Amino acid sequence: MGVKDQVVTNEYAAYHGDCIEVMADLAKDSVDLSIYSPPFCGLYQYSSDERDLSNADSYKDFFNHYRFVVKEIFRLTKPGRCSAVHCMDVPSGNSGTDHFIDFPGDIIRLHQDEGFHYVSRHCVWKEPFAVRCQTMQKNLAHMTAVADSVYCGAAVADYLLIFRKRGENKIPVTHNRGLLCYYGERKMPAELLSYKGYEGKQTENIFSHWIWRQYASSFWDDVRPKNTLDYKEGRDEDDEKHIHPLQLDVIARVLELRSNPGEVVLSAFAGIGSEGYQSIVQGRKFIGMELKDSYYRCMVKNLAMARPEQAEASLFEE
């Protein structure tokens, strides 16, 4: 198949093609961080392409295919550096009596098999009624609770799984003046604002410490759900209503904690380019691959709009 199209600049490289074939041509130990959402097996079908992981014949076949992706990401990742995977529990169906499959758990075990350490799992909260309206899950309907509540479900969180490649990290990800920006919807106490960029002893930097407490939590209930890139141009007429780009807050936190400015970030399933857009905004280089035509076209437009920001305006004044 090869690459159907590509756009390469000093800041990013966007490829329209199969991620396995594109990654095979990249140099070993050349990526500082990867972040992406793989197709959620059995939940959505993104295209009719046989190379699309969402078209796997079975759950087992999906992981046989996905293993090649993880192997390539491991090869490309520098020792001691991280890969972040966005996923969720996958329902077995929508009859009202179904159960969930531990998709995140199987992703964790696969990465451990391929040489990654499992570092952390962040749960991104989702509002139950919004999930019900979006997915029409019968187990989230109030009438299910009325009729027989043993069949009630839950609005499962999104999960951000963090893995680290075995080996020593040769270039530390440092924050000599602490964390400078908070990506989320909470209001920081006003008395902490004067400590932004504090140059003294960092144990006294209460501005950065407040941000760190939000980020170090395993439960992220402060992510702004609507802080995403526009995806309308990436939708085909026959698409299901399932295009929900990863929130920019989530991406920003991973970039801040797991990479330095100027380093290379990779997304094997780049979609409409959310990871790439935020990478460029935060001064990183980006490599992204996307198989679906409409998503690729949308990604190229979004990447072209991104601008590196050396001193981002304070998010506390929004």
Beta pairing, strands 90-91 & 100-101: antiparallel
Query: Which range has the worst mean pLDDT, 11-20, 142-151, 265-274?
Result: 142-151
Query: For position 27, what pLDDT does the model report?
Result: 97
**Segment 133-161 mean pLDDT:** 86
Whether the predicted pLDDT of 217 surpasses 70:
yes
**Segment 44-73 mean pLDDT:** 79
Confidence of residue 238 (pLDDT cuts 50, 70, 90): very low
Query: For position 101, what pLDDT does the model report?
Result: 87
**Segment 68-82 mean pLDDT:** 98
Contact 124, 250 (CB under 8 A): yes
Is 170 in a helix, a strand, or coil? coil
Tokens of 147: 């009729």
Beta pairing, strands 219-220 & 285-290: unpaired
Tokens of 40: 């959620």
| Model confidence pLDDT, tens digit, residues 165-183 | 999 999 999 999 999 999 9
d(CA 23, CA 20): 5
Whether the predicted pLDDT of 311 surpasses 60:
no
Domains in the chain (CATH in brackets) are: 3-124+156-175+217-317 (3.40.50.150)
Whether the predicted pLDDT of 221 surpasses 90:
yes
Query: For position 45, what pLDDT does the model report?
Result: 52
| Model confidence pLDDT, tens digit, residues 93-107 | 655 556 788 999 999
Query: For position 2, what pLDDT does the model report?
Result: 75
Whether the predicted pLDDT of 48 surpasses 80:
no
Whether the predicted pLDDT of 43 surpasses 70:
no
The alpha carbon dihedral of 214, 228, 90, 18 has a sign of negative
Share of the chain above pLDDT 90, in %: 68
Beta pairing, strands 12-17 & 285-290: parallel
Tokens of 24: 């095979």
Query: For position 8, what pLDDT does the model report?
Result: 97
Q: Using CA atoms in the order 254, 258, 262, 265, what is the torsion angle rounded to 10 degrees? A: -60
Query: For position 255, what pLDDT does the model report?
Result: 98
Query: Which range has the worst mean pLDDT, 83-87, 227-231, 237-241, 314-318?
Result: 314-318
Whether the predicted pLDDT of 149 surpasses 60:
yes
Beta bridge partners of 43: none
d(CA 50, CA 187): 47
Whether the predicted pLDDT of 32 surpasses 50:
yes
Q: Which of these, 231, 291, 215, 224, lies nearest to 38 by C-alpha position? A: 291
Consecutive H or E run containing 78? strand 77-88
Whether the predicted pLDDT of 41 surpasses 80:
no
* Residue 53, CA distances (Å) to 33, 58, 72, 177, 253 in order: 22, 10, 15, 42, 27
> Model-level pTM greater than 0.75?
yes
Instruction: Write the single-letter amino acid at 225.
Output: P
Query: For position 242, what pLDDT does the model report?
Result: 45
Q: Which of these, 108, 38, 42, lies nearest to 69 by C-alpha position? A: 38
Whether the predicted pLDDT of 14 surpasses 60:
yes
Instruction: Write the single-letter amino acid at 131.
Output: V
Q: Give 309 or 276, the one with higher predicted confidence.
A: 276
